[in-house]
Chains A and B, each alone.
Chain A
Amino acid sequence: MSFLTLISISSLAGLVGALGGMGGGTLLIPAFTFLGMDIKHAIAISMVSVIATSSGAAAAYVRDRLTNLRAGMFLEIFTILGAIAGASLTIAMPRQPLFIAFGVILILSWGASTWRRRKETPAMTAAVDRFTATLGLRGSYFDLAEQSEVEYQPVRAAYAGPLMLLVGAAAGLFGVGAGALKVLVLEQIMGLPTKVATSTSNLIIGVTALAGSSVYLAAGLIDPGTTAPVILGVLSGAFLGTRLLNRLSNRSAQRVFLLILLILGVAMILRGMTNT
Chain B
Amino acid sequence: MTGQGSPDSMRPSSSQARLNGLIERLIGGVLLSGVLLSAALILAGLGWHYYLHRDLTFKYLVSASTIFQFFTHDMTAFVSNPPRPRDLLNLGIAVLLLTPYVRVAISLLYFLLAERSWRFTLITGFVISVLTWGILRG
Given contacts A51-B100, A218-B137, contact A225 B60 (CB under 8 A): yes
Chain B: how many interface residues by the 8 Å CB criterion? 64
B83 an interface residue at 8 Å Cβ cutoff? no
Contact indicator B62/A59 (Cβ below 8 Å): no
Q: How many A-B residue pairs have CB under 8 A?
A: 182
A259 an interface residue at 8 Å Cβ cutoff? no
Q: Which of A4, A55, A232 contacts B43 (CB 8 A)?
A: A232
Residues of A within 8 A of B24 (CB): 62-63, 65, 67, 69
B54 an interface residue at 8 Å Cβ cutoff? no
Given contacts A149-B2, A217-B65, 6 further A-B contacts (CB under 8 A): A55-B35, A55-B100, A59-B32, A73-B107, A136-B119, A151-B11
Chain A: how many interface residues by the 8 Å CB criterion? 59
Residues of A within 8 A of B82 (CB): none
| SS class, residues of chain A in contact with chain B | helix
| SS class, residues of chain B in contact with chain A | helix
Q: Which residue of A lies closest to B21 (CB)?
A: A65
Contacting residues of chain A (208-259) with chain B, CB-CB under 8 angstroms:
209-211, 213-215, 217-218, 220, 222-229, 231-232, 235
Contacting residues of chain A (31-63) with chain B, CB-CB under 8 angstroms:
48, 51-52, 55-56, 58-60, 62-63
Shortest beta-carbon distance from A86 to chain B in Å: 13
A29 an interface residue at 8 Å Cβ cutoff? no
Interface residues in chain B, defined as those with a beta carbon under 8 Å from any beta carbon in chain A: 1-4, 6, 10-11, 20-21, 23-25, 27-29, 31-32, 34-35, 38-39, 42-43, 45-46, 56-62, 64-67, 70, 86, 89-90, 92-93, 96-97, 99-101, 103-104, 107, 111, 117, 119-120, 123-124, 126-127, 130-131, 134-135, 137-138
